[in-house]
Structure formats: C-alpha cells, structure tokens
Chain A
Amino acid sequence: QKEVEQNSGPLSVPEGAIASLNCTYSDRGSQSFFWYRQYSGKSPELIMFIYSNGDKEDGRFTAQLNKASQYVSLLIRDSQPSDSATYLCAVNRNRDDKIIFGKGTRLHILP
C-alpha cells in the first residue's frame, strides 16, 4: 500500500459545482495533513492544513479528516476555472516526522 494515495485523475467538474478530492494514508499515527495546489510549471502552494477530526473551512475550501478511516479530503465549492490545477495531499508521518506527498489529483474545471 502506498503511504499517501490519491486518484491521479483528471477529475472534471463543471464550473460552479463542488469538486471533491480524496486522499488515504497508511501511517495510522499521522497527526498533520496538508493540501497543496500546484499549477502547471509552478511550485506547490499550501491551501489548507488540518490536524483534528472533522471539517475545517476556509472560504470556498473545506478539508475533512477522518483518522479512524485514515482518510482526508478537500472540497472546493463554487468551482472556478482558476481552480484547475493538480492538488497534492501531504501527510506528516508520525514515526519520523517526514512529510510524505501523494502524487496528486489533476482537477479540471469545465467552463
């Protein structure tokens, strides 16, 4: 099992709809979870981080964490064409404090 798994996509979502991005992780002791957005040719940009079970909202973005299921997701409400990018899930691996990245999900917002 990969340490951090994401569906590579592309995930196509109509403009104005909700985009749902999912990530699973293998280290049950992980404490910190991050979502990064990476536009083509650019470096990753931190969107959100979450530490506690439940939802965390920031503008149009909501991160959801379920430690029992080892699952973290990112919801993007009112999707815009500018949201089209690759979204990287990152997990702080508890046993050695390394941050492990998934390979990312390509999101395409259809105008």
Chain B
Amino acid sequence: KAGVTQTPRYLIKTRGQQVTLSCSPISGHRSVSWYQQTPGQGLQFLFEYFSETQRNKGNFPGRFSGRQFSNSRSEMNVSTLELGDSALYLCASSWDGTGLADEQFFGPGTRLTVL
C-alpha cells in the first residue's frame, strides 16, 4: 500500500511569489491535514480537508489556502510569500480524521525556502 506522497520535495521561491504544494493521501483515506514545521514553532496545524470541504483551520493568515479534490488529493497554496514562510510543509492523511480512528500518517514533506 503506497504511503502519503507530496510534491515537490524541495522548492525555492522569492518573496512575493506564490506556491502550490500537492499531497496524495493513502488510498482510502479521506482526511488530509496540512502542517507547517519550523525549528522554533514545531508542528503547527494549517487546515484539514475532508470530502472536498475544509473541516478545520488553524491560525494562519489568509495567504494560506487549500483545497481537496474528489479523489482526496489535496493542494495548498501560499500567496505573496514572506521570508518567514520558509519551513517544512507536511501533509498527513487519515481515515476520517475524527473520533478515535484518526491516526495520521505523514508524507515526506515539502521543504520550502523563500529568499
């Protein structure tokens, strides 16, 4: 069974640009969550999608957005990039993301560097 995949693995952008990251969950998983990981802040929750709907959202500015497609694949977009957006962006999938059956499995991440 294939794990969670994320593309691209590495990305270098300049301030002001925008970026789109992609995540394909484990087959059968319908919940996809996105996290930002930095050395200072640890893993911070961005948002969660389930059945093409954003079900939960963290405390990030509106420059961060996402969507989910009917095949559960998800994308996240960051517009008007800032230096502080440099981080490892992790995608995690789970069966339904609620209750007790919500063990999350992480993808390898996308390392974004903003210059």
Contact = CB atoms under 8 A, between A and B. Distances in A.
Interface of A: 31-32, 34, 36, 42-46, 49, 51, 88, 90, 92, 96-104
A92 B42 contact: no
Given A44-B106, A97-B56, A88 B43 contact: yes
Interface in B91-107: 97-100, 102-107
Given A43-B107, A43-B108, A96-B56, A101 B102 contact: no
Contact of A98 (B41, B45, B90, B106): B45
Interface string B58-84: 100000000000000000000000000
Nearest to B55: A97
Interface residues of B, number: 25
Interface of B: 33, 35, 41-45, 48, 55-56, 58, 88, 90, 97-100, 102-109
Contacts, number: 55
B100 A31 contact: yes
| Interchain residue pairs A-B with the least CB separation, the first 10 | A103-B42, A101-B43, A43-B106, A43-B109, A44-B106, A43-B108, A51-B100, A97-B98, A49-B103, A98-B56
A49 B107 CA distance: 18
7 contacts: A32-B99, A32-B100, A43-B90, A44-B90, A88-B43, A97-B99, A99-B102
A37 to B, nearest CB: 11
